[in-house]
Structure 1
């Protein structure tokens, strides 16, 4: 949630952010009114408690003649205090509800507009040319025995799949490469839970307007995460972190689940838009003044990973109207998909400033020893299903084989090619 001090001092800035997002500007006025009402309720309750304390002391000092009237006054004040405290609880609830309806304040320089208004910052790598009819990742995956869509649908329904043989090995190789590189960059590896409590979902901004995307296990009041960002953020809920040595970074692996509500008819073929996939997610806690630089570091690590996979890509600055609730700025990296003749998102990284940490009560101590709200950032290092789809398409060859990027070979038995009917054992050394 946003900083109420910022709201009180710069309401026009918050309103401008709402306009840039295409969100309801009147919610800012609602929050201002709720904040004022809550502060008034606090003052009234405090004033009445002070009067009640004075009246209680007066009862002790009253003469027998004065005592009945003084006692009556004290009892009346006790009833008023009870009413004022109930009014304060109501005002607290109203303030929280209004607070949760306001998205994070977007950074200066974020492009205005919606999904089609993202700005390309740079394009890296050459788009490959093919002298044969290109196959999509489903056809290549079936030739290799790597992807089984039909049986995935038979077992679980639409937008599910099996990764088999070389497809399964590709998943394990990508995870190993991602985690190895993350650890080398100073991240702590984490295997994160895929089921979380409601407060973790709300704290990271994935409930409210976005809850139609989320799977809920109603019997246990738990949610299936759409990203391990949720669990990694919630891991330090109600804690004070030591950030004196710099950002605290985690690389979390988990399965991710998305209902894909509203995507009817989009990407129905293959494993680009699915209900379940595995992902390696970077997450960082840092001081607010370090967040902008940390955001660029996360982006750089994502770029280095795609370069290691030998994939052409472009970096885009996402427009305000396409930002998630918690993000003040987001960069996407879109890789080239030959059969679609376009770039599609493979990774993203978001600066959430203090928005999530304020909801989750995650703090750090400043130089004076005072508790301050931390900043949080996240970045996808590898969304595995979509990355496999891209790898198969970009690195395909005319005979149905697929080039294996050099960086992945140590975890694929040293194989330079994936070929139909291949043995999955490591190739014999060359004499």
Structure 2
């Protein structure tokens, strides 16, 4: 017979074994639960972007789906009388609010204070109730809302779109996401459709550029989606109702600059995104194009690169003197005469067909031009399969800005800056 002492030791050995087994099972269950629910990286440092891939939240609390300074995608965000309320039992999981929204409606105005509690707050459900705000007594704005303004397509929209499409990429390779490698559908068909574009602090004339490129872009890519301006939002504020946004992308230019970058979309472009995050926009832009420009992609080994010189000689400023302009054309045409490239000289005007402009840029392998808004057209270039795509941006004396370099790099296109601080244009 076993002694009492040995029996006790045997018993406690079984208990310890059972406890270890139970703890192991509980940890495994907890791990499986966690891996199937939320996949999050959060950081509140100034220059950081992060993900929160969480497609199945059941509560009415606010979730940060994706964030980069100046561009934040929320689920279940609340708004009342120009104040945002982000409701969460985990307030530490939110980005620094100055990186989300500021109190500067006009980019040219310097703020006395970038942020205050009357502009945006992260509150717990209990604090929300203490404020007299009932999460069940809300007017719901269904679908996805994009709130943005200033340098609309080339800056704020592209930054917002990069963050919005980043949710299709799993940064850890754990979740079976539908990416362009496994899904041939347009990226526009893979993400929740946008229901409205909102310009809370702007009247219509501030959103429309003189060339009408902004409206042309949205009419082609997001046909029929309504625009809302400051008048509609003043009426919503005056109603003193609490509104809940099913999803909202807040794009704030000053918040982007709060990360101390030269352009507000810099950190947004650092988020990984599907390879067709912009090219599918171009497909929609040219869906009904029937003009003379061939849309055949020239990016194959036996094709000559297509060089487009985008002239500004008819502009009021930032242009070559006539002699330098002609010398550049002669040098480029020499490449064509040697059979090394196809060369096109273009000078787009407000009266030119916008579809024609996009079509010409879609064939462009190498874009050459003086710094100016026309270089935003580089977003329509088709990155060359053989790595030949490039932008050569010529800057005036004393200038150095990497506005367009940031966009080029985000599209996988090399960018060269010529002139600027160290050289003078003749």
Higher relative contact order (CA 8 A, sep 6+): 1
- Structure 1 length as normaliser, TM-score? 0.24
- Structure 2 length as normaliser, TM-score? 0.24
Structure with more of its chain in helix, by fraction:
1
